Structure 1
Amino acid sequence: MKRIILPLGILCIIIMILCCSCGFFGDQNYFCEVDEVETVQIIRLDKYVEGEYRYEYTILSEVTDYSTFVSRLNQLKHSVNWGDPRQMDIGYVVIRIDYRNGDFDLIHPDAQCFNRSNVNQYGYFFFDDEQFDSLISDYIKE
């Protein structure tokens, strides 16, 4: 019996490593390619439109110098969530980055939504709250 338990335990560990959503393989850093950016806005999410898979929102600020903004965003400390990604909640103040190809990112310190080819993908990143809030507050004052 003991001969079976050890190999089964090792096999279970190997399967968990290969099948988990933690992403041992591939890049796990958030990075925005500034050359592809069309607009950057700071918005508040007002309502999720269920059938259309989109948010209605209020624009709090239009970022005019998005090159500097994106550079600062790319430098924010962040970690990776090893569990299920969090969903955006109504009332969140988030960064919306629109790309030239029609894709966009919605970024909050605890949840992200990346729209690629009209398909929503949710992010696994946790940004440092203080740094994130500082970045946003610098641009809401404008």
Structure 2
Amino acid sequence: MPLELNMQINLVIYSLVGGFIAGILFDIYRGIRGINSIKILIIIEDILFCILIALIVFTFLLYTNYAFLTPYVYAFIIIAILLYFRFISKYFYVSELVVFKIFCKSIRVLLKNVWYPLKIIAYKITDRRK
């Protein structure tokens, strides 16, 4: 029994969105994982990431198109991932790194500003002159 046209269009659109979600999550994972790691840990992390992505994309497709997993759904997910990596990934990854650096710098400045008065108070308490 063939699906209605609007259901097929929804399948294609949600498959493309699922592929873009997978690409974005891969860029986030790539930023978290870093470059220099132990090989066995990289293998374990990659396997766990693939399982996580499969669960996320399947859950997304389950809620949006009742998990019709036909071959063209997989094809459009792959097409969306390839389009994402070709046109969007480099900009998203660079902006992700910039946001992460700004976030880390803000946290570092905040901790130093909070830590400094606490350090002064600790020195005042411990430096009692008798």
Q: Tell me the TM-score normalised to structure 1 length.
A: 0.26
Which has the higher Rg, Structure 1 or Structure 2? Answer: 2
Greater percentage in strand:
1
Higher relative contact order, chain-length normalized (CA < 8 Å, sep 6+): 2
Whichever structure has more helix as a proportion of its residues is: 2
Q: TM-score, normalised by structure 2?
A: 0.28
